[in-house]
């Protein structure tokens, strides 16, 4: 990937890059929509991601290009307005540039920028966080700034919340930033506090990308966010992490039925993250798998951020030998399902699942067998 990035940078700008960085995509292992509710979450950085190259310019121009777009987007350093259409991908690095002064860091003035990705699009693996963190690393290096990893993660989240306009929590950036091979990343989102948790040997991840996406996905995400905040307010807490199952039931009469369902999903999901951490420490992958599937059922029936395609994949996978459990991964409303399997689940089994899906929905999902990987870093 590094050689590809350097080659594409040279082909685009006619010179070599000066700074290279990489950040991985992530699997949301368990903890669906718990992050912006102040809860806990477990995620895994994977062995695919986004790499960014940068070289300085003396004329103050900022030029952005990527392997997924033919156009070079050229801006002055004082042009910080949000872009639209085919140029909207530039909002992720632009948002990082806008966030740097908020965290006391300088932004580089002029530069040439190129990004490459080997993450499948629309699979819920958070290419947005990966490009934010990789961009943050090259911008900070170009400006001669040194910031703590926690601050880099917060810069990425700030960019997504305040510039791109997605009210995400810190899951995506936190896992991409703190990932470690053969480990999961545990995040207590109230701190936030980050820790790594060893992943027992024998666990494999398979991603089944449906390439389906609800037309109103951004609006639906924002609606779920508002519903959770409304539930917290009605229950007299600032965030749903501050309540529990008993308090939720006691306050149920204060909540509209759909708001109660959203809150119950979050409260139960936070409990499932704790139970999953315990099962991982005991090496009990069967118990972990059961919790993953229970998480999906809660998304399906309570949070209602699943789809018929995702539900079919989960139903098919959990009925397949050597699968511990399966659930949607990411924000939902389309996207992908993650299955945790043992080593005996292979491509033949995955293709059988894909064929069943194609028979029902007319097109096979993309399949990705992935491993855990290390977090965001400069490349030398």
**The domain at 2-199+374-379 falls in which architecture?**
2-Layer Sandwich (3.30)
Residue 324's contacts (CB-CB under 8 Å, 6 or more residues apart) are 203, 285, 286, 288, 289, 290, 292, 340, 341, 342
Confidence at 212, pLDDT banded by 50, 70, 90: confident
Residue 347 has pLDDT above 70, yes or no: yes
Q: What percent of the chain has pLDDT over 90?
A: 84
Residue 217 has pLDDT above 70, yes or no: no
Q: What are the tens digits of pLDDT across the range 108-158?
A: 999 999 999 998 766 667 788 999 999 999 999 999 999 999 999 999 999
Q: What are the tens digits of pLDDT across the range 96-112?
A: 999 999 999 999 999 99
Confidence at 211, pLDDT banded by 50, 70, 90: confident
Q: Where are the domains of the chain?
A: 2-199+374-379, 204-370
Q: What are the tens digits of pLDDT across the range 258-310?
A: 999 999 999 999 999 999 999 999 999 999 999 999 999 999 999 999 999 99
Asked if 266 contacts 34 with a C-beta cutoff of 8 angstroms, the reply is yes
* Of 130, 39, 124, nearest in space to 327 by CA: 124
Which strand (E) or helix (H) includes residue 297?
helix 285-298
Token pair 């508002």 in the structure block, residue: 226
Confidence at 24, pLDDT banded by 50, 70, 90: very high
Pairing mode, strands 366-370 and 204-213:
antiparallel
| Radius of gyration from C-alpha coordinates of the chain | 21
Instruction: Check residue 324 and give its pLDDT.
Output: 98
Residue 288's contacts (CB-CB under 8 Å, 6 or more residues apart) are 203, 276, 279, 280, 324, 325, 340
Higher pLDDT, 213 or 153: 153
Catalytic residue among 47, 59, 78, 172: 172
Prior bond of 321 cis (ω within 30°): no
Asked if 48 contacts 370 with a C-beta cutoff of 8 angstroms, the reply is yes
Instruction: Check residue 127 and give its pLDDT.
Output: 86
Q: What percent of the chain has pLDDT over 70?
A: 98
Confidence at 330, pLDDT banded by 50, 70, 90: confident
Asked if 24 contacts 139 with a C-beta cutoff of 8 angstroms, the reply is no
Residue 218 annotated to the active site: no
Confidence at 222, pLDDT banded by 50, 70, 90: confident
- Pull the structure tokens for residue 278: 């315990």
pTM for this predicted structure: 0.88
Give the right CATH number for 204-370 from 3.40.190.10, 3.30.70.890, 3.30.565.10, 3.20.20.140.
3.30.70.890
State in Å, rounded, how far the first CA of the chain is from the last one. Answer: 13
Confidence at 216, pLDDT banded by 50, 70, 90: low
* Exposure on the CB side of residue 303, measured as CA atoms within 13 A: 30
């Amino acid at each position: 990937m590094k050689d590809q990035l350097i080659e594409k940078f040279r082909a685009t700008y006619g010179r070599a890059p000066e700074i290279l960085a990489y950040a991985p995509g992530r699997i949301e292992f368990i903890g669906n929509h718990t992050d912006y509710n102040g809860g806990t979450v477990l995620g895994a950085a994977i062995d695919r991601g986004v790499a960014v190259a940068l070289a300085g310019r003396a004329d103050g121009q900022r030029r952005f290009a990527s392997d997924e777009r033919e156009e070079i987007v050229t801006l002055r350093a004082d042009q910080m307005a949000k872009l639209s259409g085919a140029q909207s991908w530039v909002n992720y690095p632009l948002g990082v540039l806008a966030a740097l002064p908020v965290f006391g860091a300088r932004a580089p003035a002029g530069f040439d920028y190129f990004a490459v990705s080997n993450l499948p699009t629309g699979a819920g693996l958070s290419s947005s966080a990966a490009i934010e963190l990789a961009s943050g690393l090259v911008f900070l290096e170009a400006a001669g700034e040194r910031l703590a990893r926690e601050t880099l993660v917060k810069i990425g989240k700030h960019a997504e919340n305040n510039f791109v306009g997605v009210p995400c929590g810190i899951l995506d950036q936190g896992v991409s930033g703190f990932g470690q091979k053969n480990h999961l990343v545990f995040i207590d989102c109230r701190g936030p506090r980050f820790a790594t948790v060893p992943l027992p040997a024998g666990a494999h991840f398979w991603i089944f990308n449906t390439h389906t996406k609800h037309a109103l996905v951004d609006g639906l995400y924002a609606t779920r966010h508002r519903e959770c905040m409304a539930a917290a307010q009605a229950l007299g807490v600032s965030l749903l992490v501050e309540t529990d199952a008993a308090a939720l039931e006691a306050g149920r009469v204060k909540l509209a039925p759909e708001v109660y369902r959203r809150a119950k999903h979050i409260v139960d999901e936070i409990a499932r993250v704790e139970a999953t951490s315990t099962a991982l420490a005991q090496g009990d992958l069967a118990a972990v798998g059961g919790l993953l599937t229970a998480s999906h059922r809660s998304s399906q029936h309570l949070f209602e951020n699943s789809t018929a395609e995702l539900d079919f994949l989960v139903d098919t996978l959990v009925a397949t030998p050597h699968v511990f459990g399966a659930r949607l991964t990411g924000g939902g409303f389309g996207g992908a399902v993650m299955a945790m399997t043992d080593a005996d689940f292979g491509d033949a089994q995955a293709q059988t699942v894909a064929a069943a899906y194609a028979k029902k929905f007319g097109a096979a999902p993309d399949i990705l067998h992935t491993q855990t990987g290390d977090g965001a870093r400069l490349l030398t």
